[in-house]
Amino acid sequence: MSIPVKTLTILFAAAFMLPVALISFRRLYPFLTSFAKLIASATIAAHIALIMVWFVAQPASALEEWFWDIDREWNIQSILSSTQFAMISGIALVLAWKNRSEGAWRRLYFVGLALIFLYLGYDEYFGLKTCVLGWKFCIRLMGEALVVATVCVAISSPKRLMKWHSCLILGLIFIAIGGLILDGLPDICDGLFFIDLDRCFIISDAPDEIVEFVGGWLVLLAVLGQLSDAAPSLRPRVRRALVGWFALWILLLCVFSPVRGRVLGVPGQPVSVKFGTRVELHGIRIGENGLPSAIYIYVPADMSKDDVGYSVHLVEQLSGESIAKFDKLANRYTRIEIGGAGHQRVYAQYVNLKVPPHAPTNQALWTVLTVWRADGGEYMPLKVQSSDLPLLDDGQVILKELVLPAETSPTTSVPLASFHGGLALEAVAMPQHAQAGETLDITFAWRADETGGTDAIQFLHFVHEASGAWWGIDQQPLGPRLPTRLWYQGLADSETWQVPLPQDLAPGSYTVYTGLYGIYDSERLPATDADAVPWPDNRVALGAVVVEQ
């Protein structure tokens, strides 16, 4: 059985939204005033209507597709979600005013609730939180504080208000599930139970937004319920003020929408890359996973919108093979002005590069950008004329170097040697006898206690115990697949060196030493043993190997 992903999304929406709405209508609606019922009903009806329009729409262009998309900023869907949060903010301020005889702490709670949802409404539309590292932690902390404050208020509130406090907390939980948990779940590409899908079911797209919709609506229902209790006969001018606030919020979103153009700095890393035909890359935005989430390019006005496109590839550094890619035609509906008349047509192009399950871990990767132009059914890459980013070739720009971490278990073992920069040599496996001219296998187990930054080379020295003569070999600790600059906190990996012993290597017992030195200054990294005692000359003694002829 095979169904389209859109149909599966609608089934998910129905299975989730309808029970919540029906239970709310039965259990909570009788306690609302007619004004509160109107606001709650209109909001949930608008959500359902827009989801159905998204389902049945057959967009004829990228602009139409964006306009109805549930998971995109700056469109009709995000206006409704943002306005719902603004409604909560406005009603919370009215509650703060209505509770002025209940004590300062209760008024402070509603003011805080209003400010938090005012910010959430702003960010729901403009989506600037993704430009801030650690935004999920900040949002989670804010939500947890709000839940604790709501519980404290509920404890001291009359019993009749308990249903509204519970509804508010449930709504916050749904918002957290949608925005923080579902947003991080992997895509479902291999089918769902006995159902085959026409493409990957991306949980972080429409499903998480639907759960957030419902969570926001429950919070709205909760504050409307408290308003109905505090002011059963709300004055007409207050009702008009609330409706006016809702309308003003929508107007402000339309006036300041980036779709109409805003004077901003690039919300990411400014860069300067010039391609042929006057196309320019002005910025990139990197997500928390190290992958690019947006690029900001200038496209000349005299070029057709279907002329220019871009491809972002995830490339193995060692083999040069592409393991994932994202291709799309450039669009002109999200304009960002970065200052000056010469850059009024810089457009945000969003990148949704999905890492496949089989992608290699603990290997150096690049994200590489190619800008191309359609020409008679062929796609011709534009040559790079100048760039402040490194190039893979004259048409490919390296946006970012990264590594996909492997799952590891915490270790409690004491390392054989600890090096400056959080690098640790856990163990070494080395034979005790070898034959000159043969290959000696030595396995090094490494771990990293800090995220990398040090670019180091490992040396391996064989010192003849009788004559003092020595021979050695140098290479990267984990080979060229993972330079130490990409090591991350928690890394645990090993590499087997295949050391070719010279044919004329003198027989005898050799003491084997190892250590690290910086690539750029050739200075050895400070090394200490298991007791934190420095190793002499910053080289670690590994034991002895007897070489025979």
351-367 pLDDT, tens digit each: 989 999 889 999 999 99
**Average pLDDT of 243-263?**
81
Three-class SS state of 437: coil
**Average pLDDT of 222-240?**
95
**pLDDT higher than 80, residue 324:** yes
Ordered DSSP codes for 340-356: SGGGTTEEEEE---PPP
- Which structure tokens are listed for 527? 């090394």
- Whether 125 contacts 78, CB under 8 Å: yes
Rounded-to-integer distance, Cα 33 and Cα 232, Å = 6
Kindly indicate the confidence band of residue 408, based on its pLDDT and cuts at 50, 70 and 90: confident
**pLDDT higher than 60, residue 51:** yes
More confident residue, 523 or 306: 523
Kindly indicate the confidence band of residue 304, based on its pLDDT and cuts at 50, 70 and 90: low
**Average pLDDT of 138-167?**
94
Q: What pLDDT, on the 0 to 100 scale, is given for residue 531?
A: 92
Instruction: For residue 511, give every residue at least 6 positions away whose Cβ sits within 8 Å of its Cβ, in sequence order, or none.
Output: 462, 463, 465, 541, 543, 544
Helices 162-176 and 135-155 meet at what angle, rounded to 10?
A: 170
- Whether 459 contacts 514, CB under 8 Å: yes
DSSP state letter for 524:
B
- Alpha carbon 195 to chain centroid distance? 29
**pLDDT higher than 60, residue 282:** yes
**pLDDT higher than 70, residue 63:** no
* CB-CB neighbours of 282 under 10 Å: 19
536-547 pLDDT, tens digit each: 999 999 999 999
**Average pLDDT of 449-473?**
92
CA dihedral (17, 21, 27, 31) positive or negative: positive
- Whether 432 contacts 545, CB under 8 Å: yes
Three-class SS state of 187: coil
More confident residue, 344 or 316: 316
Kindly indicate the confidence band of residue 343, based on its pLDDT and cuts at 50, 70 and 90: very low
Rounded-to-integer distance, Cα 146 and Cα 110, Å = 10
The region that residue 176 occupies, defined by phi over 0 for left and psi between -120 and 50 for alpha, beta otherwise, is alpha
Q: Which residue, among 422, 454, 432, has the nearest Cα to 527 in the 3D structure?
A: 422
Q: What pLDDT, on the 0 to 100 scale, is given for residue 177?
A: 93
**pLDDT higher than 50, residue 263:** no
Ordered DSSP codes for 105-122: HHHHHHHHHHHHHHHHHH
Q: What pLDDT, on the 0 to 100 scale, is given for residue 341?
A: 37
Which region among 62-76, 166-180, 286-300 has the lowest average model confidence (pLDDT)? 62-76
Rounded-to-integer distance, Cα 192 and Cα 203, Å = 12
Rounded-to-integer distance, Cα 36 and Cα 387, Å = 57
414-443 pLDDT, tens digit each: 899 999 999 999 999 999 999 999 999 999
Q: What pLDDT, on the 0 to 100 scale, is given for residue 266?
A: 64
Q: What pLDDT, on the 0 to 100 scale, is given for residue 265?
A: 58
**pLDDT higher than 80, residue 114:** yes
State pTM to two decimals: 0.56
**pLDDT higher than 80, residue 498:** yes
Three-class SS state of 498: strand
Give the phi and the psi of residue 374 in degrees, each rounded to 5. Answer: -75, 130
AA identity, residue 80: L
> DSSP E strands: which ranges in 406-490?
417-419, 423-429, 433-435, 439-448, 456-464, 470-475
**pLDDT higher than 70, residue 334:** no
Q: What pLDDT, on the 0 to 100 scale, is given for residue 131?
A: 52
Q: What pLDDT, on the 0 to 100 scale, is given for residue 205?
A: 73
Rounded-to-integer distance, Cα 229 and Cα 525, Å = 69
Instruction: For residue 126, give every residue at least 6 positions away whose Cβ sits within 8 Å of its Cβ, in sequence order, or none.
Output: 73, 74, 258
User: What does pLDDT average to over the chain?
Assistant: 88
* Alpha carbon distance, N-terminus to C-terminus of the chain: 69
The region that residue 285 occupies, defined by phi over 0 for left and psi between -120 and 50 for alpha, beta otherwise, is beta
9-36 pLDDT, tens digit each: 899 999 999 999 999 999 999 999 999 9
Helices 104-126 and 135-155 meet at what angle, rounded to 10?
A: 150
Kindly indicate the confidence band of residue 340, based on its pLDDT and cuts at 50, 70 and 90: very low
Kindly indicate the confidence band of residue 262, based on its pLDDT and cuts at 50, 70 and 90: very low
Which region among 67-71, 335-339, 499-503 has the lowest average model confidence (pLDDT)? 335-339
